[in-house]
Chains A and B, each alone.
Chain A
């Protein structure tokens, strides 16, 4: 389906990533934002609040983040595409209801403009340390989709993508931008509505009497209905069967095929299966010079732009280096990393944290290639030289896979002399 022309503010703008994300959400057909202002994401909420009354959308500043996310879940059940906007501490407050959203299979989007943490951290500066939280934050097993834009233009594009994925798979989608992208002002081109593809909500089409809330289509995603349309929904955060009724029998929890009676089957396995079995459709990444690469830089968000500089320098020096940029951080491209691990010497993973995605890369390489973390404590971005140093180290050492890799927070231990940390010490 094409976007509604009323929702798309076509034109060429000079705006920051926050504002671009809000425009992207509106273009995707988002009609509800419940939020509470928090630096560095406030500009996004401001932009949404300015435009909302023109497009039939509703913005409400809730009393706190707990209320914000709960209102988003409610609004989504009322049939509107919904989202909230936040940053680290607010994101932490939302975790419980993200779990509720995942259990109820509610489509919604969370725009998280990451600051450096932990806790209050540095509100006005960048970080990429919420990546693991976005996957593992709430209790219990569930899967989410997370996207990481690297520029304001991508902020716009990925906001639309986030809504499309949320509606397609009835799943919470995390838009994990970092403060750098959020506050970076660049040219953003908003195309004509006819060029924007949006996923409409997949409403149930059959007979009302035959509707079963969690009965799935072929792709494991159940169609959805609106609250108050006479379907007599029973929707709960308790583990439930496909009718939505609570299922508190421990025998119903294990693998779904073993259950004998249809209504004794828990829907829990589908919360992960609908993402894992469709991951080839979901996963997107950007690859560059991977054909002949000996070293691969795996990066996402703002770090990938810094990494590109290191990539270019290394190529100029004759080092065969390739780039793998994660567009969907979750689900993680396990297979692609495993495939690359067989033929490259090592991976370099720069990220603005003390090691999160690096563990995923290490896990997926199955001992076939070394993985080096280029850590960063936040508040700014890497120096390309730090990443270049890590690339050179892999080429120089040319070691077999080391079983125990010491991931430390300081560059000089992990990588090489003359690092950023050492300079600061001097």
Chain B
């Protein structure tokens, strides 16, 4: 059983959202093989386009709650992440950092520093500070946890689902056999400035809840603007 799906399921249950309204949208690298027991719809989309796919779903049916699973975001579909944040589109991104795309066969990801088949001599790239990117793009909720912090992670997923707006949960997730590594190298700092949470070699993985704020979301702003300009003639999209 995929631990993230298990944690996600707990998060959904404790968020008290109607499970029927929740749709999972995943991009190419991540798709759970069994979803029947989750009791929700799953859309496994193309490479990196999960966020705009979810955007379309949300706009056409504002009742839905979209849980969007993406891989190391800075590669496929990073631009969509930026603009969904800017619009404050009401979707809930769960960014799963596998350190590398182990399901595919070892491409290296601009998240962290592994030694994988596509970087046989080690990676020298600067990693991307995903919580900071999310905050600067306008996310209303940003948290990061590792797989070790299963309770905090499911709580963060529940919190993010309760928000209306662009929320990001950054999950540091690799094989469960390195949980001990997480235990030794992670440090909980709730409310830490996202500038300081970049993952660096030999440094601590800073985890915690970093951002929780309110911003007008896209659909509300759109409705407000149209009502202001068109008055009674404005017709909202029907659910």
Contact = CB atoms under 8 A, between A and B. Distances in A.
Interface stretch (B54-62, B174-182, B191-199): B54-62
A229 B43 contact: no
A34 B57 CA distance: 11
B236 A56 contact: yes
Interface of A: 6, 31-32, 34, 53-58, 60, 62-64, 66-68, 70-80, 82, 96-97, 99-100, 226-238, 246
User: What are the 8 A-B residue pairs with the smallest beta carbon separation, nearest first?
Assistant: A74-B56, A71-B56, A78-B60, A75-B60, A67-B52, A78-B61, A70-B52, A236-B44
Nearest to A236: B44
A238 B63 contact: no
Nearest to A240: B44
A292 B54 CA distance: 56
B52 A233 contact: no
Given A63-B83, A233-B43, A56 B237 contact: yes
Contacts of A34: 52, 55-56, 59
The SS class assigned to the B binding surface is: mixed
Contacts of A80: 60-61, 237
A54 B45 contact: no
24 contacts: A34-B52, A54-B235, A62-B52, A62-B55, A62-B83, A63-B82, A66-B48, A67-B51, A67-B55, A67-B83, A71-B59, A73-B53, A74-B25, A74-B60, A79-B60, A80-B61, A100-B46, A100-B49, A227-B57, A228-B63, A232-B38, A232-B41, A233-B43, A236-B43
Contacts of A66: 48-49, 52, 77, 80
A423 to B, nearest CB: 47
B79 to A, nearest CB: 5
B230 interface: yes
A228 B56 contact: no
B79 A235 contact: no
Contacts of B49: 66-67, 70, 96-97, 100
A78 B56 contact: yes
B56 A32 contact: yes
B105 to A, nearest CB: 15
B42 interface: yes
B13 to A, nearest CB: 16
A176 B59 CA distance: 27
A78 B64 contact: yes
Contacts of B233: 53-54
A62 B38 CA distance: 31
Given A74-B55, A75-B56, A235-B41, 9 more contacts: A70-B45, A71-B53, A74-B52, A74-B57, A76-B60, A79-B61, A96-B46, A231-B41, A232-B40
B116 interface: no
Contacts of B119: none
A261 B100 CA distance: 37
B36 interface: yes
Interface in B11-49: 20-23, 25, 28, 31, 33, 35-36, 38-49
A228 B41 contact: yes
Contact of B226 (A53, A72, A76): A53
